[in-house]
Amino acid sequence: MKKKLRVSGEQHNITLLQLDANFFYERAIRSLDRFHYDKALKYFQKAVDYEPNNPINYCNMAGVLSEIGKYGESNHILQKVINEIDPDMTECHFYMANNFANMEFFEEAERELLHYLQEDEEGHFLEEAEEMIEFLQYELERPTPLTKVKARAGMYEHIRARELLEEGKFLEAIRMLESITEENPDFLAARNNLALAYYYVGMSAEAKRAIEAVLEQEPDNLHALCNLAIFYHYEGNQEKLKSLTAVLTKLDPFYQEHLFKLATTMGILREHAAAFRHFQRLTKQGEAKKDPCISHFAAIAACNIGRLELAEKYWLMTRSMDEQSPLPDFFLTLLKHMQKEQHIPASMSYSYFSSVEEQMDAWELQARERGIELDPLYKRAYLFWAFADSSREGKLKAIYDLEPCYNDEVEGMLKQFLLQQDEDDYLKRIVMYTLRSMGMKDAFEVVLGGKLLKVDAQRVPTLESSHLTDCDPLWEQVAELALTRTAKRYNAIWQHDMITLWINFLSKGYMTASKLTKIEAWAAALEYLTAKLYNKPITYHEASVRYSTSITTISKRVKEIDAVLGIKGKLKEAPWYMGSRK
């Protein structure tokens, strides 16, 4: 505004100050540059007075208050902006989260930060917010319950949905992926994973429609093509699968994610040469070359095409990257048996579990689903690995399923195990019973209790048997009868525990029990109690028929054994109560 003023009779042109919000804003900024916070605060207040509906002016005031440590006053102004001036100014929640964090009100800071991430579309402070999340997780000692980041347009939710798929929580993943694709129709990765989720729960028609929706927008989408090929494979649609596989085998993707997807798809389709080529490329690229799973998959593919020397190379590589996992050593043991027996199991599956036992269980399940017996080579490799590197429980598991893989090499290894000084005497007794049940006739040597013994394969020593030298020799006939009648139905571990139960009873209660007559009834009682301990279904009637004796007599013998050992009170426990295993 310019006015002509008359001073002392003379005319002068004077420019008057334009006192508005911009004027006081500029003065406030200059004061901030000079660290004059009090003046800056006053000038920002004047700017608010001139433009009371401008949220920026309020935020500037809140910023100065935060700078001088008045976090509560700052939050009061920010709350006013959200409640009264501009509810869509979501960055105020981020500012408030910072103020609460500075006051060490971490729960409140988390609340405001989540509000910001879930509501802010622009994401100007996204990186800073993610850093604050890590800080709050540390302070609160728990994960932040974040379910959505609006500025990432479904990316965060998609990551969580993929985690749900990996955890087997398919219905939760479907709900999340459906929401993502509704809000972001062009999010093709989410549509591909939605197709997989549908397929996992048996919704084949919905899975196909999801894939078709992707291919309509992007006909060359590799993930969709791979998923479609997998669906054709499991449906047995060989005609469509053949033409699609011909296309896929010619591809050599550039990006690691695409390369991994194609490699795993080729493995599922049993195109192992193509799978090996892609996994081999991945072992040489970026982060993938540090991933033990990749080198393991390369080894599996190498086995499937008969390149055992390359399989060894990649399993050694896996072991160097995953020193804590027992899997590489197990697979190297398996590889030695392949080379020794000149036999490779048909189409080894591409999987990498956290334990050898999980890997064995997965193979067993796959074999059952195909209606076949698991290749004995797997069980033999597990046996040798378990007796070399596994725990006591691992060795017991290997013995439990010994029969399908038993041969001369296995027998020789078990005999060597019996001579080891530092091994468990209980395990040795189990091994001796196993050798007997496998039909071995020759005597062998064993170290028990630190002493070298020569053992008749038909008369295996049991726990505390030395206590029974003065007992009626019929006790051995009871044991022999029980072992004979259970030979085809009980494994070596169960048989050993049955005889251990018998020895403990005789050692503790023989002098108070009835005379040792009717060995059939005693043997039937032993089997009955052992079956109960292992939750194996049995009735007195079954036992009476099997041992040709009366139900009443068996029942009496069961009660006599129970009176000494108190077995009924322990039926819910593990069956290892019968004494020391050493």
Q: How far is CA 454 from CA 186, 351, 546, in A?
A: 76, 45, 34
pLDDT at position 512 over 50: no
Distance separating alpha carbons of residues 93 and 175, to the nearest angstrom: 28
User: Which pLDDT value is given to residue 292?
Assistant: 92
Of 418, 438, 423, give the one whose Cα is nearest residue 492.
438
- Which segment of 431-440, 495-504, 563-572 scores lowest on mean pLDDT? 563-572
CATH H superfamily, domain 21-152:
Tetratricopeptide repeat domain (1.25.40.10)
Distance separating alpha carbons of residues 497 and 475, to the nearest angstrom: 16
- φ/ψ of 316, rounded to 5, equals -65, -40
- Cα diameter, the chain: 146
Q: Are 21-152 and 468-577 the same fold in CATH?
A: no
pLDDT at position 70 over 60: yes
Distance separating alpha carbons of residues 213 and 209, to the nearest angstrom: 6
pLDDT at position 576 over 60: no
User: Which pLDDT value is given to residue 429?
Assistant: 77
Distance separating alpha carbons of residues 287 and 289, to the nearest angstrom: 5
Distance separating alpha carbons of residues 328 and 318, to the nearest angstrom: 6
The per-residue pLDDT for range 313-356, each reduced to its tens digit, is 999 999 999 988 999 999 999 999 999 988 888 888 888 888 89
Give the pTM: 0.59
The per-residue pLDDT for range 40-57, each reduced to its tens digit, is 878 777 777 777 778 887
Q: Which of the 8 DSSP states describes residue 515? A: P
If DSSP codes are grouped into helix, strand and coil, which group holds residue 270? coil
Distance separating alpha carbons of residues 97 and 106, to the nearest angstrom: 8
Of 209, 211, 255, give the one whose Cα is nearest residue 230.
211
If DSSP codes are grouped into helix, strand and coil, which group holds residue 448? strand
Local confidence band at 568 (pLDDT 50, 70, 90 cut-offs): low
User: Which pLDDT value is given to residue 5?
Assistant: 40
Of 232, 225, 230, give the one whose Cα is nearest residue 211.
225
Instruction: Please work out, in degrees rounded to the nearest 5, the angle formed at the alpha carbon of residue 140 by the alpha carbons of 134 and 146.
Output: 55
Instruction: Please work out, in degrees rounded to the nearest 5, the angle formed at the alpha carbon of residue 396 by the alpha carbons of 413 and 293.
Output: 85
Of 355, 361, 347, 364, give the one whose Cα is nearest residue 331.
355
**For 398, how many CA atoms within 13 A lie in the half-sphere containing its CB?**
26
Neighbours of 367 (CB within 10 A): 14
Local confidence band at 458 (pLDDT 50, 70, 90 cut-offs): low
Top mean pLDDT of 1-15, 144-158, 215-229, 502-516 is at: 215-229
- φ/ψ of 445, rounded to 5, equals -100, 150
Residue with tokens 């090929």: 229
Which string of DSSP letters, residue by residue, matches 414-474? HHHHHT-TTS-HHHHHHHHHHHHHTT--S-EEEEETTEEEEE-TTS---TTGGGGTTS-TH
Domain boundaries, the chain: 21-152, 154-248, 270-395, 406-461, 468-577
pLDDT at position 255 over 70: yes
Which tops the pLDDT comparison, 318 or 568?
318
Residue 76 structure tokens: 């009061």
CATH H superfamily, domain 154-248:
Tetratricopeptide repeat domain (1.25.40.10)
Distance separating alpha carbons of residues 102 and 75, to the nearest angstrom: 12
E-strand stretches of 189-346: none
CA dihedral 17, 23, 24, 29 (to 10 degrees): -130
The per-residue pLDDT for range 112-136, each reduced to its tens digit, is 888 877 777 666 776 777 788 778 8
Distance separating alpha carbons of residues 539 and 531, to the nearest angstrom: 10
Q: Name 445's bridge partners.
A: 454
pLDDT at position 455 over 80: no
User: Which pLDDT value is given to residue 277?
Assistant: 94
Top mean pLDDT of 189-198, 226-235, 326-335, 441-450 is at: 326-335
CATH class in words for 468-577: mainly alpha
User: Which pLDDT value is given to residue 469?
Assistant: 42
Q: Which amino acid is at 322?
A: D
Q: What percent of the chain has pLDDT over 70?
A: 84
Distance separating alpha carbons of residues 42 and 59, to the nearest angstrom: 14
Q: What percent of the chain has pLDDT over 90?
A: 16
CB 293 within 8 A of CB 326: no
Which tops the pLDDT comparison, 479 or 78?
78
* Structural element, H or E, at residue 452: strand 451-455
User: Which pLDDT value is given to residue 337?
Assistant: 92
CB 356 within 8 A of CB 372: no
* Structural element, H or E, at residue 444: strand 444-448
pLDDT at position 579 over 70: no
If DSSP codes are grouped into helix, strand and coil, which group holds residue 4? strand
The bridge status of strand 2-7 relative to strand 444-448 is unpaired
If DSSP codes are grouped into helix, strand and coil, which group holds residue 470? coil
The per-residue pLDDT for range 283-309, each reduced to its tens digit, is 988 777 889 999 999 999 999 999 999
